[in-house]
């Protein structure tokens, strides 16, 4: 009886599950997406934010890359446009309410609307231990890692609500949940990012019935210019640091900016429309284990 039931119902279930207009995961055509914290100086390789802008554009999105340094967002925008895709550079300090609003205003002026906002911005993530934590350093880190995200959401949310659709993605760090290493910690960085992550998910819950999602990408050890810069500032050996960081990832190698960007592209697509108010760990399994034998 069970076998007959499965045989007769399976085709029906299959037809019901599939749709002729199901979205393709890699298609972002027609979408306008803002990526805050996107850009690196021309002499550096592309970081997570800039790579995210590039990947989204290659998948058909019109991408507004935002940085507080004009040369940074312009560099990635030039690459996007040179490839024949659509990019716009916008310089802003999104910790400032007026400048955060200016990002949305410019986006609407150029493209008519906005479908998604990704915050890839980050304050200095160098490990420094609490003993070196000053009040000014703490305030600066919380301002950039948390308050800037509030300003962006505060300005973009009414636009999303009016349109009945919107997508907020926050890039955070596993340091805000499971921690990174033993000893010197990234307290203000982790605290600010963790708070912004919870905030993003709460927005996703509150506004779900209005067609708005809020998701978090928990990022583990990733190679790139942010790490290279920190290593250079600390006077450490990049090869030794790379080998150590690689050893913290189960596969034996850190992630790449593109591997993070690909997940952001999925969350930006309609294929992920039932994914909301959650964390997606993109860390190679690092958060699922402890270090040592």
Res 11: pLDDT: 40
pLDDT at 10: 39
User: Tell me, what's the pLDDT at 181?
Assistant: 60
Please give the pLDDT value at position 127. 66
pLDDT value of residue 8: 38
For residue 140, how many other CB atoms are within 10 A of its CB? 16
Look at the block and give the residue holding tokens 């004009």: 70
Residue bearing tokens 């890039």: 171
3-state secondary structure of 113: coil
For the stretch 2-18, what's the b/e string if a residue is b when 16 or more beta carbons lie within 10 angstroms of its beta carbon? Answer: eeeeeeeeeeeeeeeee
- According to the model, what pLDDT value does residue 188 have? 87
Say what the pLDDT of residue 24 is: 59
Handedness of CA 57, 101, 192, 169 (dihedral sign): negative
Query: pLDDT, tens digit, for every residue of 180-238?
Result: 665 556 788 889 999 999 999 999 999 999 999 999 999 999 999 888 887 887 788 99
* CA contacts within 13 A on the Cβ side of 133: 17
Which residues of the chain are under the pLDDT cut of 50?
1-20, 22
Q: Domain spans of the chain?
A: 27-288
State the pairing for strand pair 32-36/279-282. Answer: unpaired
Q: At what angle do helices 148-163 and 187-206 cross, to 10 degrees?
A: 10
CATH topology for the 27-288 domain? Rossmann fold (3.40.50)
Please tell me the predicted confidence (pLDDT) of residue 16: 41
Beta bridge partners of 67: 91
Break the chain down into helix, strand, coil percent, rounded to 5.
50, 15, 35
Q: Are 66 and 90 in contact (CB under 8 A)?
A: yes
Question: Are 168 and 200 contacting, i.e. CB atoms less than 8 angstroms apart?
Answer: yes
User: CA separation (Å) from 128 to 185, 229, 257, 274?
Assistant: 6, 15, 24, 39
Instruction: Report helix angle 225-234 to 238-247, nearest 10.
Output: 120
What secondary structure letter does DSSP report for 207?
T
Distance CA 94, CA 50 (A): 17
The span from the first CA to the last CA of the chain, in angstroms, equals: 51
CA atoms within 13 A on the CB side of 188: 24
| Cβ atoms of residues 31 and 60 within 8 Å | yes
Tokens of 196: 């912004």
Partnered with residue 289 across adjacent β-strands are none
> Is residue 220 a contact partner of residue 282, using CB atoms and an 8 Å limit?
yes
């Amino acid at each position: 009886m069970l076998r007959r039931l499965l045989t007769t119902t399976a085709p029906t279930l299959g037809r019901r599950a599939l749709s002729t207009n199901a979205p393709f995961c890699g298609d972002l055509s027609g979408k306008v997406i803002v990526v805050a914290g996107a850009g690196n100086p021309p002499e550096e390789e592309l970081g997570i934010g800039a790579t995210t802008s590039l990947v989204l554009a290659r998948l058909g999105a019109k991408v507004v890359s935002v940085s507080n340094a004009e040369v940074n967002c312009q560099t990635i925008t030039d690459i996007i446009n040179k490839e024949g895709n659509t990019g716009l550079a916008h310089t802003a300090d999104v910790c400032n309410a007026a400048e955060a609003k200016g990002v949305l205003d410019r986006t609407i002026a150029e493209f008519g609307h906005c479908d998604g906002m990704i915050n890839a911005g980050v304050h200095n993530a160098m490990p420094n231990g609490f003993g070196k934590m000053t009040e000014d350093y703490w305030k600066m880190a919380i301002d950039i890692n948390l308050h800037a995200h509030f300003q962006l959401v505060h300005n973009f949310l009414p636009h999303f609500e009016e349109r009945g659709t919107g997508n907020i993605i926050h890039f955070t760090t596993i340091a805000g949940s499971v921690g990174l290493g033993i000893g010197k910690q990234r307290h203000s960085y982790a605290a600010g990012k963790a708070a912004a992550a919870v905030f993003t998910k709460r927005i996703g819950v509150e506004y779900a019935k209005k067609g708005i999602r809020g998701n978090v990408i928990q990022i583990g050890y990733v190679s790139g210019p942010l790490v290279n810069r920190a290593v250079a500032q600390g006077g450490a050996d990049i090869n030794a640091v790379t080998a150590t960081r690689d050893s913290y990832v189960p596969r034996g190698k850190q992630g790449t900016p593109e591997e993070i960007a690909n997940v952001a592209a999925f969350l930006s697509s309609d294929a992920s429309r039932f994914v909301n108010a959650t964390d997606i760990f993109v860390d190679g399994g690092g958060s699922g284990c402890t270090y040592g034998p």
